[in-house]
Amino acid sequence: MAGKVFFSITMSLDGFIAPDAVPVTDLFGPERKQDDPSVRRWMAQWAELHQAAFPQRFFRENLKLGQGGDEGLDNDIARTTHERTGASVMGKNMFDAGELSWPEEAPFHTPVFVVTHTERDPWQRPGGTTFHFVNDGVQTALDQARQSAGDRDVRIAGGATMVQECLNAGLVDEFTITVSPVLFGSGIRLFDGVDADRIALEPVRTQPSPKGVTYLTYAIAQR
């Protein structure tokens, strides 16, 4: 039986999943502009948004940040999300940022299908991650991801544009938002451009965390 298509993403209380866009080379490139005020602000906001994730044991281990870390609800959710995922789909912008910032052993450990107009041979990384570059749209990428995932789930890894496109195409079965208790005021919104008239949300569960975040999970039904 085929698994679900889902996304799991962290969002500020006012609806943003990332600060205002800054060139990825300024943030993560070999000559990144750490003294640039816009870069410093982006990094500070990003760290605040994800402050509950960074101390978790699974997060630290998966990103090669060292041993140890917190355990409990947040760690269990991070690990379960990873373990249910048999393949991922992402947009080119997310891949470009990740290529500069992920460790050599990229944190997916499954096939990843990158939706892009750029032709490129598959890129295999240590630890089981292989990036495949799909040039004919998200539906083809999802079809390939489902085939690779088998009976496990397919995760829409991001970014916002990719999530929005999948929602509008009726391709998402379920999602979890980690609501972080921060306000951005501006940035990249998760649901901009989503056709709300076509989507009905069915609450699945709400999980408040001692870390201050709240996990909201919804199933999606088409209107």
User: What's the pLDDT tens digit per position in 27-55?
Assistant: 988 888 888 999 999 999 999 999 999 99
How many residues make up the chain in this entry? 223
- CB atoms under 10 Å from CB of 51, counted, come to 16
Q: What is the 3-state secondary structure (H, E, C) of 41-60?
A: HHHHHHHHHCCCCCCEHHHH
Task: Give the dihedral sign, CA 112/146/10/208.
Answer: negative
Q: Residue 182 corresponds to which tokens in the numbers above?
A: 């921060």
User: What's the pLDDT tens digit per position in 51-72?
Assistant: 999 999 999 999 888 889 999 9
CATH at residue 15 = 3.40.430.10
pLDDT(1) > 60: no
Task: Tell me how many domains the chain contains.
Answer: 1
Q: Residue 222 corresponds to which tokens in the numbers above?
A: 């088409």
Per-residue pLDDT, 76: 97
What range does the domain containing 29 cover?
A: 5-222
Mean pLDDT of the chain: 94
